[in-house]
Chain A
Amino acid sequence: MENSNELSDSIITQNLLPKKFGKRGMLWTSILVAICILGMYAYYRQLRYGLVVTNMRDYVSWGIYISNFVFFVAISLVGSLITAIFRLINVEWSTPLTRIAEIIAVSAITFASIIIVVDMGRPERFMNLFLHGRIQSPIMWDVIVIGTYFFISLLLLYIPLLPDLKILLQQKDKNPNWLNKLYSLLGSFWIGSRLQIALSNRAIQILCILIIPVAFCIHTVTSWLFATTYRPGWDSTNFGAYFISGAFLVGSGGVVVAMYIFRRYYQLEKYITEQHFEKMGKIVVLLCLIYLYFNVNEYLVPAFKMKKAEEKHLNELFTGDFSTMFWFAVIIGMIIPIITLIFKKGRKPFPMFIIGSMIVVGAWFKRYLIVTPTLLNPFLPMQDIPESYKHYFPSWEEWAIAMGSLAGVLLFITFFARIFPIIPIQETITEENAKHK
């Protein structure tokens, strides 16, 4: 933190304490709440009339709920990258980003679980997964690893929060009463003794190691929901690595966007510096290149052979019905970010924010392209069915629910940043002090 050498402990604390919503904050929150309510109304309609309110039918039996699920699981992987991998390889500059990454991870994985229940035809039978569960089904693997990932991520969010809760509790007079109650409920036992610090460091260390294989599992298993079937476009041994590389990319894009917004909105320029964007930019460009590499493997190798079943599917992506979306996802989500970010100017905060948003949007459409076109290219011809079964475009209920879940993730993050310091206060102070010694 080279440009902030004059920071005393109390200034850091003052700067980083959670702040009340301003006007823009209220507007932002109410828009998100409105979208969520619309999504809930759409889900009420789905519960009442059945999945018929969606435009999924017998051929396209999975739609944007599932692509949204894949998107959420993907974006949640960033928690493990920035908190765990960076910590283990001693990347010190990542400290101000860890909590942003971890809250993205926790809220995304929460809504991944919600959206998968929304996709179920009989959500009230959810318990059957435990009463009659069969371990041979990739869905069971997903239930297990996503559950595990959720709890590890939650702990990785919570344990580093404890010293900050103590700081928050020291400022009791400034917080509303209900927040004080919440803080003491969560962290009043933390006194910051040497033993507690040693214990928490040890716990974080163990969790950081644990979360890496679990993170790889959640997205590999999610890719296997597709790769364990025979369908062209899904029947690929490349899928696990392809999904994971894409997941790290979209998650990092998401973190960059969040960094920029928090930095501007909370005036955190001293903590999230241009250096952070510069360094994240280099990481994002690396992840982009890796993802591009797996995309080449995923599309060009089958395209070289053009097996009969693959041919229709690939043609539809390259030049057919889905070509606009396909090239949009490739160019917006990979090519332009790579070209922009290899230049130093492209790694400035604002261009990075734009690129981060492009990566996230491109990634969302990429997930749509992974799910839907394949289902429209079955082995046996689609005949003898109503015309509406041969196409898919999400109904308003599906859009409302999908957007509602996205708004839900953002709302989660917004509320979190309202209640807790989005940049770890104690860790920042410790690092500052260490630097001046």
Chain B
Amino acid sequence: MSDNSRRDFLFKGLLASASLVGCAEKKNPFDSEENFQLTGEKVKLLSVTGEVIEIDKAYLKPVPDMPPISNEEERRGIPGKKFVMVIDLARCKNLKKCQSACNHMHQLHPGQSWIKVLSMEDSDHTAPYWQPTTCMHCDEPPCVKVCPVDATFKRQDGIVLIDSDRCIGCRFCMAACPYSTRVFNWEEPILTEEVAQKHYSCESSMPQKKGTVGKCDFCPDMTRQGELPHCVSSCPNGVFLFGDMNEDSVTNGAETFRFSELIKDKAGYRLMEDLGTKPSVYYLPPVNRNFPFEEGLENARPETTE
């Protein structure tokens, strides 16, 4: 028995150190209230110190789903970063791969999307172009100003996020956003079972919650892993360039540019500069286009072409 409890102690201690650091443990790891029925079947495991250890199979249980980082950290953002996106309109032909990847990864409600590819024509005699529109992650975000409960907030890395656990669903932010980027969960979201059981995280914006607002989040869960947002990696034409303004570089996965030079050389601009919202999304004008505008028409919803 003493042998058993010693092993118990060792193993649980190991589990505790191997489990995610910084999470509030609900249970005391040394508390052996659960009764294990030993199976006699042993399993070999590699400990964190590199030793091969052997334990009874009965001790194996899935690590409970824990939020990888605390809500406080999610609200603070990734230190030292200032995320920026450049959308090259010369490369877009309305393939909407960005949209479908985003919708799929965030399990958005059918018909709703966080990225819209708009058919734009600035005036009667100017050339039409396709404009993918995400959240602008403004440095002076009108949505954050009006939120009564701090459910939408600006992080130090420049990202504007929503905490769906706090949102009261007043939709003032939707009225305040001049880019109409926000969507609302009008009904119970349709989620896969796996996602529905997950802990909510502001960074992944998953699982969506009924009665709260959602929008493009710049995929901070991906950036934290050093990967690109889904729209960037899914675009075959490299329209989206994502990066860090502090490093002065943006990339679409295949090509990397110096952000300041790219904006200078190609005369980058931001949407509705006159409103003073200071977006973090820059556009490169649709000049020397890779595709004619008409090629995108086949992908447009019928009403877009009216």
Contacts and interface: CB of A to CB of B under 8 A. Distances in A.
B150 A230 contact: no
Interface stretch (B51-59, B109-117, B197-205, B230-238): B109-117
Interface residues of A, number: 48
A292 B168 CA distance: 37
Contacts of B182: 58
B170 A138 contact: no
Contact of B175 (A123, A229, A381): A229
B142 A61 contact: no
Contacts of A120: 168-170, 211
Which size bracket describes the interface of B in this complex? 35 or more
Contact of B184 (A61, A131, A381): A61
A132 B75 CA distance: 14
Q: Is the interface of A mostly helix, strand, loop or mixed?
A: loop
B170 A133 contact: no
Interface stretch (B3-11, B85-93, B185-193, B259-267): B185-193
Given A122-B169, A134-B148, A379 B178 contact: yes
A57 interface: yes
A280 to B, nearest CB: 36
Nearest to B116: A384
B188 A50 contact: yes
B119 interface: yes
Contacts of A139: 146, 148, 170, 172
B169 A137 contact: no
A383 B149 contact: no
Contact of B211 (A50, A128, A137): A50
Interface centre among B99, B168, B272 (most CB of A within 10 A): B168
Contacts of B176: 228-230
Contacts of A389: 111
Interface in A53-108: 54, 56-59, 61-62
Contacts of B120: 381
Given A134-B150, A230-B275, A383 B118 contact: yes
Interface string A207-224: 000000000000000000
Contact of B172 (A59, A225, A387): A225
B289 interface: no
Given A120-B169, A128-B149, A129-B168, A385 B185 contact: no
Given A383-B116, A384-B304, A57 B186 contact: yes
Contacts of A61: 171, 174-175, 184
10 contacts: A49-B187, A61-B171, A61-B174, A121-B167, A121-B171, A129-B149, A131-B149, A225-B172, A229-B176, A383-B303
